[in-house]
Structures are given as C-alpha cells and as structure tokens.
Structure 1
Amino acid sequence: MMFAIEEINGNDSLLPNISLGFWIYDSCDTLSRSLQGTMWQLTGHKDPIPNYACRETSPLAALIGDEKSRMSITIAQLLGVYKHAQISYASTVPALSDKSRFPSFFRTVPSDEFQCLAIARLITFFGWTWVGIFAEDNDYGLIGSQMLNEELIKAGVCIAFYETIPLFYSQEKIRRIVEVLKKTTARVIVVFSISNNLYPAMLEIVKSEASGKVWIGSDGWNLFPLFNKKEFVKTLKGTIVLSITRHNIPRFKEYLYDFLHFRTAEDIFVGEFWEQAFGCRWNDSNTDHITVQEGRTKRKLCTGKEDLKTLDNQFFDLRNLRFMYKVYNAVYMVAHALHAMYCEQEGPFFNGSCANIKHFAPWQLLHYIHKVRFQDTMGQEIFFDLSGNPPASYDFLNWQVLSSGSFYDVNIGHYDSGAASGQDLNINTSAIVWNEGYTQVPVSTCSESCGPGYWKAILDGRPVCCFECIPCSEEEFSNQTDATECQKCDDDQWPTVRRDGCRKKSIEFLSYQDPLGMTLAVISVLSGLIPSTILVIFIRNRHTPVVKANNRELSYLLLLALILCFGCSLVFIGQPTTPTCIVRQIAFGVVFAVCISCLLAKTIMVVLAFRATKPNSNLRTWVGPRLPNALVLFCSLVQVLICITWLIVAPPFSQMNMKSQMGKIIIECNEGSLTAFWCMLGNLGFLATVSFIVAFLARKLPDSFNEAKFITFSMLIFGAVWISFIPAYLSTTGKYTVAMEIFAILSSSAGLLSCIFFPKCYIILMRPEMNTKEFLMGKTTGNFKKTK
C-alpha cells in the first residue's frame, strides 16, 4: 500500500497537486478491535463517538481491508450506514456481493462464486464424477462449499461425503474426518479452508496413512508453509490449489530492499522482520542488563547493515505476494475515483453540483468508484461490476516435491471468467505431477462408466453417479458411454453383436441359390417328369383295357393337373413379388381342385357303373363321359369363383416382414385375406373329404371297375399331409414357411400320383398279360363264382 501511494503521489498525471496519505490499524483478527478501529477512523478520535467526526485534516477517502471475510462483514455493516467506501483485497465470501446489505463494499479479489465455478470446471475437465468435500466451519467454508456443491451437481458430479472442519480442535470431529476419508471410494477431495484451520485435521490424516488421494484446495491454501514439511509429502504430493493470478509489480522488489534497509529498528514491523530474517536481536536501551547479557549469549545484535539480498526468504519471492497485487489495485482504484471526482467539469449530483476534493461526502466518492475503469501498470483492465466484484482470474498450482523433500508450486493452468464459453479453462496436463501411485490422471467415479452396448441403471437410494451397467436388449443399442437408455434401430437395421451400433438386416426369401430352394426346385422338376412320363405311357397304350377302364379322359386330365401341381411349386421359389404371390396361391388352389375333382368324378363313376349293371337300373342313363366332365367342371369353377372373389376383395401381395425374425428382413407373400385363403383350403378339404367317403364306401366293388381302394389311400395321404401342414405353417417363419408349403404340395401330389397310377403302370409295363379284356373279365367271372 505504501509503495502504491508513493507511486501515485509521484505521478503528475494522476491527482496532480493532491497527495494521498494513509493510516494503518491492526485488527488483530478480532471482531471487537475491527469495529473499534473502524469507528476510530470514522470519527478521527481514539475514543470513538458515534455519528461525530472531529477530523481536522484531510477527509477519509476509503478503507482498504480487511483480509478475512468475517472481519470485512462486520466492518462493511458499519461503513454501509455512512456510505463510506470499503475495498477488500482478500475477502471472498459471496454474501459480500449483496448490495442491499453492503452498499459500500468493493473488493479487488474475486468472489468465491467464481472460485466455485473454477474448481467445478477443473473437476469436469478431468472427468471426475465422485468427489468428497471438506469445509471449515465458518462463512468462507460453508457458503463456498455449498455453492461448489450446487455447481458440481449442475455438472453431473456427485458428492461422496461432506464434512466440516472444526475451527477449534475437536478430537471427536477430527477422528470422524479421518474415518470418512479412509472409507470413501472417492479419490478426489476438495477442501474449502485456510491452512491454519485445516492443519490439525491434516496432521491426523497423515498419521493414519490415508494416502492416494488427489487434494483440490481453495485459495485459502495458496501459501503452504504449514504443510511444507517432509511428513506431509506422501499425502499432499500432487495437490492442486486454486490461487489468485500472479502478477509482478514493477520496481516493487527494489522498493522492499530500500524500504527495509532504511527502516530497521525505528519501525516495529520492520524491526521484528529483521530479527527473524537474520537471527539477530536489536539492542533495546530499556532492557535491563541481565536480559541484554542473556540475549548476547543466545543471538548476536542486529547492526542494520545486514544484506537483504543474501536472504533465501519467501518474503522476497514476489510470485507468492498475490494479495499484495490486490492491495496495490485497491489503492489505485481509490486514486482513480478521486481523480475522476477532482477533474469532473459538470457535476453529476443535484443541480449539476460537483464534489469538493477537500471536503466531500463519502457517498459522493462512492459514485465515482462504481464507474472507475482503468489499466494498471501491468496492462490489466481493472473495474467493478454491479456487485462490486472485479473480473475473476485464477491460477492452478500443482504441489511438486524437490529433491530436498520440500514442496514447490508449479503453475499448470488458468481460469478466466470473462473468456468465451469453452475457453475459460486452460490446463497443461503434461506439467502435472500426481500423488504416488498415479502415472496418469486418476479416475474418481462411484461406478465404472458403461461402455457402448450398455445403459446405466441408477441404484436405489444412491447418488446418480452410482449405477449398474445393464446390457441392451437384443432389439436395442447404445453407441455412447454412460447412456441412460438404449435406442431402437431403424426398421431395416439391427443391433450389432456388441449392441454398440446398427447394421443392415439381411434379406431372406427362398431363392434358387439357397441350398434348400435349389433342392426343392430339383425335386419339383424331377417329380413333374414322372406324371409326364406316365401320360406318354397312357397315350401310347390308350387302347388297352387298363387305360380305358375308369374314364381314360379323366386320367389324362388328372395327369396334366399333377404335372401342374409339381410345376406350381416352382412359383413359390424366388423373390416374392405381387404378381408371383397372386399366381402361386391361385395356381395352387385351382390345380389341386381339378385333381381332387377328377378323383371324385372317378369314384362316383365307379359306383354308378356298378349300380348300372343291375337289371332295370335307372342309372344307366348317367353312365358316360358327360357326368364326370360336368362334375369336374363344376367343382373347379367353385374354386375359381373363390379365387376371383379373393382377388377382388384382398388379393395377395409381397411385403417386407421386419419383425418376425431378429436381424432379418423377410420378403414374403401376404395372403391379403386370411379368410379367403382358408376358404380356398377349406374347399379343397371338403372335396377331399367327399372323395374319401365315396371311395371308402366303394372299396369292395369288383376289381375290374374299382379304383376306390387306391383313391382311398391317396385321400388318406392327402389329408394327412395337409392336416400336418396347418400347425407347421403357423409355427414357422420366413423361407421355412414357404418350404413347408412346397413340401406339402409335393408330398400330396406324389401321394396322388403313386396311389392312382403306379399300379396301372406296373400292369402296363411289367405285366402286359394282365392288360387284356379277357383277363379282367375272367377275373370278374371268377369273383362272381366265388360269391355264389
């Protein structure tokens, strides 16, 4: 302060012809003395008289101080009544920003509100989400830590514990602090306390060997002589402390050397410093002879000629004199406000009046302090916001260890509240030395992060940072760390094996390239050749009795229908399209209706032929080709009518089924109308049932006319195949559903072919002697004889 005042008084451009003076009062860290000193300065009398000023010299411009927040609060409450300006260089409690309570309080040090923001940004920068908090039991610790707590919660950081540090030694409370520290899984501990109050607790922590923690200290730790001992190295190595930004004051170090040298014994402060720095003692004439003799034997006398430059003392390391810079700015702030008031041409007060620099009211200077904005000798812009706070700027210091075993701090980063978002924090991670056991940035989380493919489930009764990682379901994915929920892929995509992304679903249908499709296609073609061959055989032997028996034309039509039955299964193979979906179902329904109609007509003709042989039978007029042809045509037209109705109401179409099978898009045919589909199958079932009943009843008719036994077996096979098909069709999906339908078509067609035509082919090819009218009639005669 003295240096700043002398510098201002020597500056012709600042307050010309005006000199500043000062008066120093030591409050001794007690509230009563701070109030007493404040009243003393207000009244100008050693015995203060409230509301009375007897100052005969220059007016009191402003009060610089106090250091501690609790002292400044008491002083600010009193000065606010009189609107006297107070500028603190070290008080950081956020409550002092409240202008309704402290209208005349300003400070050149940032509020703890910004300190909390800086610490929170540091914690989030390193990705720590699980931290503990120690706070000293006063306004500085409690309010600051509470604001820090709020900022951490906003940033998604959880508090593992919150403990207060007693201002007065309490073994019980300190023991609890140690126990909490040893039990916690948090590796990062934030301390809102000054060194003196923390020291007893930290001493017990060191004794308990609770190491391996990263300590984050508030600006109360910025000077560490108390902890600069070997017993604290293991515990506090790697500590990161928030500190007021360092600034060197030009020519201040030389000023200190000169000032201390010329004010040795005459100044009580300098004299005490001199004794401690050089280990000597001043000769006091008031001291009795015995005391002087004792002093001489213990310490040499100070001469005042000792060389200050030979001292290796932290006092002269101006990097650590952080609050000195704030005091320096506080004095300049008052000087610039006085200068603005002194040079004002048009008064801002009532009726344009100006303040008199020699006799001004306190509130008048307050008006100018609010508006002061200047650059100091280091080029820093200095001003106060509406709350009386300066721009916030902090350094982050890392405690590292010298070879001698003592601490030294290294600047590892900077925080500037006025910088753009995202650029307010700058950390040099390569310059950081962590606590023993950490070669890289320590991890402090309640739960390990959930990687892609998992989502975090919050545990009941625990903070949000404590969670369990749950794998995403088979239909969901998460592609980010610590996802709160899994997401569904698009309909045409499916989660990867690790559930950390989506991939295109595979497209599935029964293709000709598929082994199953290829096999069924080959079987269909080969099976179709069999009825074709039989048809050729029947045409070549069309005049033989076996072929002519039971309506030769119906046999030809049945063989042609069976060829189409085997062939229509090929339409079911390949990528389904709407035309193929229509053709496959209609062709299947109509062709099978023709087959079963032919069998029904054959069976009915067997019965009519046998009944017509009886004397005086009226059924002879029905025997002939017209009845079976009409019957086949009628039954087939009924099926065609069902199919046409189906096509009109809701025809089949192709669709992409993305839901039935995981990871696959099934291209399939949608029947359009299930009612029409089952009506078509029901009609086939009805025809097959009637054919089976008629054939079963006619099974004992004479052999020369009788195909009923073979038709009975064929209908049993047909019914068994399609009854089995229904549950299989409903229980399978994708290409296997189509394969089941093809298998049913091939099986039922093969059953009809083998039961109806294989016995006749055997006679034609293997037993030609049986393919004669005489043999058949002879066999019939033999049967009649046996009956008689």
Structure 2
Amino acid sequence: MEICIWKDGLMIRMMFYQPGALVVGGVASQIFYFHDDTLYFNEQPTRALIEEPISILKNYQHILALAFAVKEVNENPKILPNITLGFHILNNYYTAQMTFKATLSLLSMQDRFIPNYRCGTQNRLIATIGGLLSEYSFNIATVVEINKLPLFTYGAFCPAQGDKTLFPSMYQMVPNEDYQYMGVVQLLLHFQWTWVGLFVLDDNNGDRFLQTVLPMLSQNGICDAFILRTPKQSYLAEMMELLIMKQEKYAVLVEKNANVFFVYGEFPSMQVLKTLLFAFHVLSLPPLGKVWIITSHWDFDSINVEGHFGTQTFHGALSFTVHSNEPLGFQAFLQTIKPSWVKEDGFIQNFWEQAFDCLIPLSDEDERSKQTCTGEEKLNSLPQTIFEMSMTGHSYNIYNALHAVAHALHAVYGSSPKHRVLLEPQDVQPWQLHSSLMKITFNTSAGDTVCFDENGQLIEGFGLTNWVTFPNRSFVRVKVGRLEPFGKALTINDSRIVWHKSFNQVLPLSVCNDNCYPGYSRKKREGEKFCCYDCVPCPEGMISDQKDMDSCISCPDVQYPSRAQNECLPKRIIFLSFEEPLGTILTLLAISFSLITVLVLGVFRKHQDTPIVKANNRSLTYILLISLLLCFICPLLFIGQPGKVTCLLRQVAFGIIFSVALSSVLAKTITVVLAFMATKPGSRMRKWVGKRLAYSIVFSCSFIQAGICVLWLSTFPPFPDMDMHSVHEKIILGCNEGSGTMFYCVLSYMCFLAIVSFTVAFIARKLPDIFNEAKFITFSMLVFCSVWLSFVPTYLSTKGKHMVIVEIFSILASSAGLLGCIFCPKCYIIILRPKLNNRAQFILKKNKKC
C-alpha cells in the first residue's frame, strides 16, 4: 500500500520555487539583489542569479518524520503484521495549479496521467497526508473527496474551509484555528494589552481573519492600532514596490504606544513580512523592538536574505504552537541520515548541499567549484534556523497522522487470524477507514493520546512558546504556557518569559494612552477608537478602585470615599456616649443639678412649717421640685447608644415631665392672683382658692400633653436610626423622631404653657404680698422661653449627635432657670436669713406695705 504526502515548501530547489523569488527584481532600469545583508544594484542580472531558488531546509524534517513513522509501523508486529506501508511524496510548488495536477496524478496510473484510472493491486492509494497551508489543503480536499479518500491536514486549516459537511473525509491534525484567536485574546487580557497592531494576509483568509478577530477584540476592550495587509508571496520587484508603499506607514510601526503586534499569515507570507522588516533595516529605519504574537504557522527558517536581523527582530516573540513531543528513537534515527541515500531519497541531495555548503557528486565527471561532501557531516551541527533535532509540531502531526492511518487499517483488518485470511489488502477501500478513524484512540510512543472529535479535528490544545534568539542565529523554544483544548483556558508562567531587549525585561505596555489609575475614570476622546481616552478625576463622593474604569462608582452607605478617591473606607459609628468628654460633662451636670434639686427638696421638707414654705401652696412646691428633679435626670436617656426603649422614652418623658413642671408653675401663679383677689371685700373668688384648683390645673395641663404623647406613640413613634449621609466619614446612631410634626406639637404645647405662666406671673408680679413668687416666676419663665426659642433654630441647624447635645443643654438650662429663679431666693431666706422666715416678721412687713 502507499500513503501519499504533499510537502509544501520543502528544502530542495523544486520546493517553493519561483524564478527570482526573494532574490532579484527591478525598479525602473536598475536591477538589485541581496547578499550578506547588503543591497546591491546591477544593470543586468545573470541567468544563474535569476533562476536560483530559495530552499526551506527546515521542512526536510517533515519527510524524516514520515519516514520514521512508517519505519516504526512496519517494524511493529502488533500493528498490520504481514502488511508493509509505503509512501510517495509530491511537491505542489506553492501553486494551486500544481496542487491539482499532483493530486490527480495520484488517482491515475503511476506511469500514465489518466485521472481517476488505475489498474492492478500494487501500490494502492489508501490515504493522503498534506496541507501545510489551508488554501492547498482545500484544493486537495476538493479532489480526493470524490473518492472518499481520507485526507489528513497537518497545518492550519480555516474553519470555514474545514467544514465537516463539505469535506467529511478530512481529518485535521491541528485544532480549530479559532481556538488560537481565543487564546490570543486571553493573552492580551492577561497582560492588559489593549492597543495592538495587526499584520494580516491580503487575501480571503485575511478578510476572514479580520471578520473573526476584530469583534472578539472589541468585545474584550481591545483595539487595533493599525492593520497592515501583507501579500502572500512576491517577487523582489513587487517587494520593493511594496516597500516604497509601506515605508510611509513605518512611522505607525515604531509608534511607542503600540508595542504588541499580532501576526496572522502562512508561509510564504511570513517570509514577505520578514523580508520587509529586513529591508527597513537596510534603509536605516529605526529598529522595531516589539512583542510579536504569532499563530502556529510561523517558524524560523533558513532564508539567508534576513541574516542576523531576521532572528533578533523576533527575540522574545510569543507564539501559539502545535503540540509536539519526542517519539522514542527519533534522535537515533536522525543520526543514521547519510548523504549516500541520494538514490532512495530524492530530497536529500539538495538539502545536504545547501545545509552544509558542499557538493554530492553524482558521477566522476561532475566538476564543481564547491567542496565535496564527506558524508560525515552531522545534522546536530546545523543551526536551528536550518534544521532542528527535536521534532517540531508539524512533523509530530505527520507522525501522528501516519499512526492514525495504521491503527485505522488495523481496526479494519481485525485482530483475529481468520479475519486476515478473509480480508485481503486489495479488498480494503479508502472509505472503510472513516468509521474506524472517528472512533480511534491510541497512545503514541511519546505518551500522548490521539483521538478526533465529531468534526474530525484532533482533540488537543496549543502550547504558548517564547522564542529566545541568539546572535549565532540559534534560538530556544521556551514553553511558557498552555491553551487548553477548545480554547477554554490559558495558563501562563510569566516568570519564564524573556522580552525583547528594548524592554529591559520589564513587562511591556501596549495601550493607546497611559492607564487611568484608581481615583480617575475614562472619558472617550471624540473621533478616536474607544481604547483612546482621557483620564478625569472622580466627582466628589465617588471612587474608582481599579485601573481604566469607565465610570466612577458610589460607596455603599456604610462606607465613604478615601481622600484619593481610590477606595471605600468603613464609616465610624458615632453617638453621644458617656465616655467621651462632652458626654461626661453633660452627665455630671445632670447629676449635679439633680443633687441640688434633692438638696432643695430636703431643705423645704425640713422647713415645711415655716411661712415661706407654706406660702403659695406647699404641695405645688413639692410637685415642682420633684418634676425638676426628673427633668435633670431626663438627659441621661439622651446619652449612650440609642435603643428601642430609650428612643420611645426620650421625648415622651421630656414632654410630660416639663408639662408637669410648667403646670405647677402656672398653678402657683394663678394661686397668687386668686389669693389677692379673694382678700377684697365681697369677692366671689374665695371659693376658688384652695388645693383643689391647683391640682386640677396641674392634672389637666399635664393630661393634654400626655394625650399628645400617646397619640404620637400610637401613630409614628420614635425608633433607633442610622444617619449615613449627614457626616461624610461617620454613621450617626440616633433616634428618629418618627413624626416631626408630633415632636413640634409637644414643644409648642410646652411653650404655650410657659407663655401663659409668664403672662399671668407678669401681671401678678407687683401684688402686695411679702412672699409673692410672681416676680420670680416671671423671671424664670423669661429664661425658660429664651432657652426654648433659641433651641428651635439651633436644633434645626445642627446634625448628628450635636442635635442631642443642643436638646440636653436646653433641658438642663431651662430646668436650672426654673430651679434657680424660683427657689434660690427662698433657700437664701431659709438658710441664711431665717429671721425673716417667721409669721411676726411677715405681719409687720405686710402692715408697712398697707
């Protein structure tokens, strides 16, 4: 049997042969060519110079990988015993015409070109392996699909071209190309590169690439700094014309902000790009120190036109590479390669002569100027740009493709001896392999598992490789990451990556403008791409805690922006506590006034039978003193952490207690007036003078206030609340009054009682009575009203715990005013002037006044 493989761009002259390609061309009347990194001009080129092709020596490993795989299968008694595999290699010269011709020749007789006609049972074609480039794989597939011949592509294949419904007989040894694009997007996001230059093939594949990639980049916040279209292949004359056109765009390439270039292309388009870069170097344009991100098509090769510049430009490049591994025995197999195989290997002569710069004489008559090859040359002595000893990804794909065919054939023949007798090799048809290939799973000698999904694509991921180059044109592939199958996840080892020397091993930046750091937000620039923006500070009260935020955000209610507006800090909960200085002072004042009130009450109790205590209703005096004592204790409810009970009791207790105190003052004042009027002859007021009226006044006035408070508690009672917004950096824990209207109703009623008391006392202040309290009540009511009239605007203009302090101060001040103005004069007489506190003195002074 025979397995055919097409090799795109192999090492000999017939491979990638285009007369004058990348070697010679003309502009106007001058002829130019490259030699040793130097540009020369001649009037007339020689024929030898024009027809000398450029060979891609590295691709010779693909042939050796196929030969090694066939050798492995034929020597393995467990796979296809008594059956020998063979192979036939043809070249397509990188042209669609030659691809179709070579494919049709395989389907005809070996010595006669009659497409789709074969006779005999020898050299039966059972499968094809080909397609380093997607375009030529598509050309091959359109021919072999007619015969349902399995086709294995070992290079990249465009997803649209590789549709399983169009080519059910095709199997891709490289995962879907779209997965690489997903990996590139993840790579750009990982390093936060958002301003990327694109190098794209100038053909349908390039258009399809842009249609796929540009939306993916845009959806992930990445912009293209520029898009440079490069031709697939070109003669040098066309290259120089292209150079002249692209030179104007070179300023875009050296632009500092775009430090990352994403390249999509296939060989030989990559050669065009590298030759363009070399030409820029020859023209003394600034060097490009960039990060190159390249798909799996790319590789360093032996195109000498680039010289040292070709490898150093791509130092530190990152590429998604096809998975590869080293099969057992491959290194030993490479050591056996000798130029003496020239009769069996039609490619080795050209490879050997170009790689080692010597000649293999085919006859004694050959007279050539170069040195004759000794046959002792070693492949491991060649630079890596010419030949790599380790198996590359594409060679490994060819190796696995051959083993997949062998295992599928083995499955068709069966494993029992009777099946081998019943089924002869000539009876096997290519289409019979498909059912086995779709279900096949096997392990290679390198330890990898090979299997295909329902679309005939190899289930495998990509490796992320960092290319480290050296001045001697050697390089090292450093594996720095892996893209999981189907592009699900990309893992990167940042510490292993070597960047281009221009970055001094610092992570490169590739953004349209500097990042907007926390505390700033992005503002789009008019007329430019969304990756280009200005940075504006966050508005007051808002923050941005990450780089490049589109808008600032507000902090949660329990947090506040830092001074730099780059983070939210937790707010501190505050309330008027007993421990803080002001809380301590107010507490001491409340306790002190309470003790003074108790002392006054004790004095009056001790001297309760004296005239000054009996005057103006002794019981009212006790009620007033007790209510004042409670007024001084009431502020303690306002200090400390507010709770549900304290919030309910605060204003209610304050309102009712003060109403009792004011009612007592009013009752004492009315008692004075009635007592004076009752002394007139024939007055009917005598029946109103007495304790009953006084108690009725106190009870009725206090009951009205109590009713207001009950209505307040039953409708909108006070409750604990947190004020998040009054103070910038703090949460104020306090009591919400529930209904502000009811609160001011309580205050208004207190003020009404105070005004009535003040009015009555003012009228009775000059009544002839030695112990007349009206003048003292008048002054106390004046103090009381002054305090509470100033309380309202002050209370409304303060926030947080200062509102509580204002109310406590007003309670203490008004209560102290009542205590001092009414009881201090009496205490002065009782304690310091006891002689005045007797009935005789009282009658004497009364007679004098009369």
Normalised TM-score (structure 2) = 0.75
State how 1:168-567 maps to structure 2 within 5 Å: 168=234, 169=239, 170-171=242-243, 174-175=246-247, 177-183=249-255, 185-193=257-265, 194=267, 195-203=270-278, 206=281, 207-209=284-286, 211-226=288-303, 229-232=307-310, 235-248=313-326, 260-264=338-342, 269-280=347-358, 299-300=369-370, 302=372, 305-309=374-378, 312-314=381-383, 317-319=388-390, 322-343=393-414, 357-358=425-426, 360-402=428-470, 404-413=471-480, 415=482, 417=484, 425=491, 427=493, 429-430=495-496, 432=498, 434-444=500-510, 459=524, 462-463=529-530, 506-534=572-600, 550-551=616-617, 554-567=620-633
1:73 deviates by 1.0
- Flag the 1:777–1:77 CA change in 2: closer, same or farther, 3 A: same
Quick one: distance in 1 between partners of 2:507 and 2:328?
Answer: 38
| 1:91-116 deviations in Å (ceiling 9; x for gaps) | 43333431222232234344423443
Quick one: distance in 1 between partners of 2:696 and 2:619?
Answer: 13
Q: Secondary structure at the match of 1:33?
A: helix
Q: Is the 8 A contact 1:505 1:665 kept in 2?
A: yes
Q: For residue 100 of structure 1, what is the aligned residue in structure 2?
A: 165
- Flag the 1:692–1:191 CA change in 2: closer, same or farther, 3 A: same
- Flag the 1:548–1:225 CA change in 2: closer, same or farther, 3 A: same
Q: For residue 777 of structure 1, what is the aligned residue in structure 2?
A: 846
- Flag the 1:101–1:455 CA change in 2: closer, same or farther, 3 A: farther
More helix by share: 1
Code of the aligned partner of 1:777: K
Q: For residue 596 of structure 1, what is the aligned residue in structure 2?
A: 662
RMSD of aligned residue pairs (Cα, Å): 4.6
- Flag the 1:137–1:602 CA change in 2: closer, same or farther, 3 A: same
1:432 deviates by 3.4
1:82 deviates by 2.7
1:638 deviates by 3.6
Code of the aligned partner of 1:390: L
Quick one: distance in 1 between partners of 2:768 and 2:379?
Answer: 140
Structure 1 window deviating more from structure 2 (174-183 vs 225-234): it is 225-234
Quick one: distance in 1 between partners of 2:337 and 2:474?
Answer: 30
Unaligned 5+ segments in structure 2 are: 1-65
1:31 deviates by 0.8
| 1:421-456 deviations in Å (ceiling 9; x for gaps) | 76x7464733635433332443445677788x7696
Quick one: distance in 1 between partners of 2:428 and 2:150?
Answer: 13
| 1:555-601 deviations in Å (ceiling 9; x for gaps) | 45434443443343344434445555555544433332233223323
1:363 deviates by 2.7
- Flag the 1:398–1:625 CA change in 2: closer, same or farther, 3 A: closer
- Report whether the alignment pairs 1:655 with 2:720: yes
Q: Indicate which of 775, 781, 785 corresponds to 1:715.
A: 781
Quick one: distance in 1 between partners of 2:779 and 2:131?
Answer: 114
| 1:246-299 deviations in Å (ceiling 9; x for gaps) | 444555566667664324489764443344345445678999xxxx8xx75xx2
Q: For residue 81 of structure 1, what is the aligned residue in structure 2?
A: 146
Structure 1 window deviating more from structure 2 (674-683 vs 64-73): it is 674-683
Quick one: distance in 1 between partners of 2:219 and 2:753?
Answer: 77
| 1:129-160 deviations in Å (ceiling 9; x for gaps) | 55433222245555456555566667765555
Q: Secondary structure at the match of 2:697?
A: helix
Structure 1 window deviating more from structure 2 (462-471 vs 173-182): it is 462-471
Quick one: distance in 2 between partners of 1:579 and 1:254?
Answer: 91
- Flag the 1:67–1:700 CA change in 2: closer, same or farther, 3 A: same
Q: Secondary structure at the match of 1:43?
A: coil
Q: For residue 685 of structure 2, what is the aligned residue in structure 1?
A: 619
- Flag the 1:778–1:152 CA change in 2: closer, same or farther, 3 A: same
Quick one: distance in 2 between partners of 1:58 and 1:506?
Answer: 88
Quick one: distance in 2 between partners of 1:599 and 1:267?
Answer: 127
Quick one: distance in 1 between partners of 2:601 and 2:334?
Answer: 126
Q: For residue 786 of structure 1, what is the aligned residue in structure 2?
A: none
Q: Secondary structure at the match of 2:503?
A: coil
Q: Indicate which of 742, 748, 751 corresponds to 1:685.
A: 751
Quick one: distance in 1 between partners of 2:352 and 2:311?
Answer: 30
- Flag the 1:592–1:85 CA change in 2: closer, same or farther, 3 A: closer
1:339 deviates by 4.1
Q: Secondary structure at the match of 1:604?
A: helix
- Flag the 1:544–1:606 CA change in 2: closer, same or farther, 3 A: same
Q: For residue 725 of structure 1, what is the aligned residue in structure 2?
A: 791
1:411 deviates by 2.5
Normalised TM-score (structure 1) = 0.81
Quick one: distance in 1 between partners of 2:679 and 2:336?
Answer: 152
Q: Is the 8 A contact 2:137 2:157 kept in 1?
A: no
Quick one: distance in 2 between partners of 1:257 and 1:580?
Answer: 95
Q: Secondary structure at the match of 1:219?
A: coil
What is the identity percentage for the equivalent residue pairs of Structure 1 and Structure 2? Answer: 36
How many residue pairs get aligned? The number is 763
Q: Is the 8 A contact 1:111 1:389 kept in 2?
A: yes
- Flag the 1:111–1:597 CA change in 2: closer, same or farther, 3 A: closer
Q: Is the 8 A contact 2:201 2:231 kept in 1?
A: yes
Structure 1 window deviating more from structure 2 (134-143 vs 260-269): it is 260-269
Quick one: distance in 2 between partners of 1:670 and 1:538?
Answer: 40
Q: Is the 8 A contact 1:94 1:143 kept in 2?
A: no
Q: Is the 8 A contact 2:523 2:536 kept in 1?
A: no
Unaligned 5+ segments in structure 1 are: 782-788
Code of the aligned partner of 1:713: F
Code of the aligned partner of 1:185: N
Q: Is the 8 A contact 2:519 2:543 kept in 1?
A: no
Q: Secondary structure at the match of 1:61?
A: strand
